[in-house]
Amino acid sequence: MEYKEETTSIQGTWPLEQWRWKHETSVLAKKFLEALKDKKIIGLKCPGCGLVYVPPKPYCRCLSIPDEWVEVKDTAVITTYTFTGSWSFGGRLEGTGAPLVIAGVMYDGSDTQTLAILDGVDPDDVAVGKRTRVKWPENPQGGINDIMHSELI
């Protein structure tokens, strides 16, 4: 049997608009995203183990329900990082230009890491333990991309 030689397409539709997914995170996300409009980052603190989740999450590994809103800072420490090489990722990203520097950052007051792009940074200058600050857009739109970019301080 030859499996490679032939591709057969069969037309079909999958009406995803009829699904109504339910995530508790989406309720919390609204408050979190709304705060970003005021250049504020908020998270949820767990009453059981004290862990602060940013972005907020309604369930903790200790089986408690984080329910206390706390504001964290927009300054952070780099926990880890990477930068892109010359790689085409699933045909979507050609890493041929300047390397994209991606860092795991832990905002001051948070216990979880968030991913951020470090702008205008030489990859050689990035190190675990260095500090960053969010590069806010002039008019934050209340989307997760408001805190997509950070810079070294």
Write out the residues near other proteins by the rule CB under 8 A. Answer: 1-4, 23, 25-26, 29, 53, 55, 61, 79-87, 89-91, 99, 102, 104, 111-115, 117, 123, 127-129, 144-145, 148
Residue 104 burial (C-beta neighbours within 10 Å; 0-12, 13-18, 19+)? middle
Residue whose CB is less far from other proteins, 3 or 17: 3
45 vs 51: CA distance, rounded Å: 6
Residue whose CB is less far from other proteins, 75 or 79: 79
Contact 28, 44 (CB under 8 A): yes
From 57, 8, 61, select the one nearest 31 (Cα to Cα).
57
Peptide bond into 140 cis (omega under 30): no
Residue whose CB is less far from other proteins, 130 or 133: 130
Contact 40, 70 (CB under 8 A): no
- 117-134 burial code (b ≥16 CB/10 A, e <16): ebeebeeeebeeebebeb
